[in-house]
Amino acid sequence: MSPAEQPAPAALPRRRIWRYLREGSRHRPGGAWSALISVGSVAAALYVLWVGALAVIVGDGALWAALWLKGAGLPYGALDSFSTWARAFSAQYHLDISIFIAITFPIAFLTTTAYKERKGLAWTDIVLAALSFVVAGYYIVYAGKFLNWSRGFTLPTLADIVVGFTLLGLVIEQVTGRPLFEVLRDGVLNVEGSERLVYQPAEAPTDPMAMPLGEPRAALEQGGGYLPSIADASSAGPAGALASDSASLAQWWRAFCAGEIVSQASLTEMATFVGGADGYGLGLYDIADGGSVGHAGQNFGYVSWAGCLLDEGAVIVVLSNYLFDNIGGMAEPLVRAVRAD
């Protein structure tokens, strides 16, 4: 090329960029690499379809079939278990992300853009592919740790729960344009047999009542007719304004665990515990060392423990007007008795 035909210096960077775009191509290595990339690409595509849509569609179909088999008096347990697993699969989004990374990242590194002249894989491609697979594999095994690492998640404190429920109550009122009490009474509190489960101060508790910390009846008048007091009932809001006896609370938990208050899919997602069996779901945790969902609470002068033993189909409620550090210890004999029956 003559000096007159030499490109201007300013044009060189543009030509290099154009060559990258024009000549860049995806490697198609042969042998085992080719098989790995082909199988991995198909697996990644199928997995995305499964998580994005098919898990719910197939799960709903399996649930319908299980209900039909149950109504016909035929075995349905395996299909019912599969439907629950499939419908809850997308709720395990932290595990989904890990599996997706384990499949797609190695493929991305093994098919990296390069010059035409580059006929083989660089060692960096192989190292990065292996590293991404190992890291994603670690988080598949320890799925809860992946969620902690990626989102800074920790088990909620009492302050977290109070603030969360208070904000949720405000959102409900803003969206519906109605007082929270009316929304709750027409919805999640509209359970037969739970008439003594009241939302204060819109509703007042009625006799018989246990006074906070075993105080005399005068405590009710001092508290403005509410438990433990009008001050607490009006300030706690959605986080602690409910008052109930054991029978009404048991009826509510029965309806909740039977899928009468929220859908079965929502219940499954709520009972998906982050961090394993000792973790926390969406307002629920395992209260009886396996096979249970429930919650415990504490207010001024009261403690509560309530939930469902899923395999036994039983509800246990323990209420006390004295404070205990371990209210679950009071419920333990009842749990053992139910499971031994």
DSSP strands (E only) in the chain: 25-26, 113-114, 198-199, 242-243, 292-299, 302-309, 314-320
Write down the mean pLDDT value for the chain: 77
Q: 221-249, pLDDT tens digit by residue?
A: 888 999 988 888 888 788 888 999 999 99
Mean pLDDT of 43-59: 71
pTM for the model: 0.55
Element holding 167 (H helix, E strand): helix 158-176
Q: 167-213, pLDDT tens digit by residue?
A: 888 888 888 889 999 999 999 999 999 999 999 989 999 999 999 88
Answer for the pair 307, 287: CB distance below 8 angstroms, yes or no. Answer: yes
d(CA 72, CA 144): 40
Answer for the pair 36, 121: CB distance below 8 angstroms, yes or no. Answer: no
Give the closest residue to 239 by CA, choosing from 167, 306, 295: 167
Q: Which domains does the chain have, with CATH numbers?
A: 25-151 (no CATH), 158-340 (3.40.710.10)
Give the closest residue to 163 by CA, choosing from 270, 231, 239, 235: 239
pLDDT at 24 over 60: no
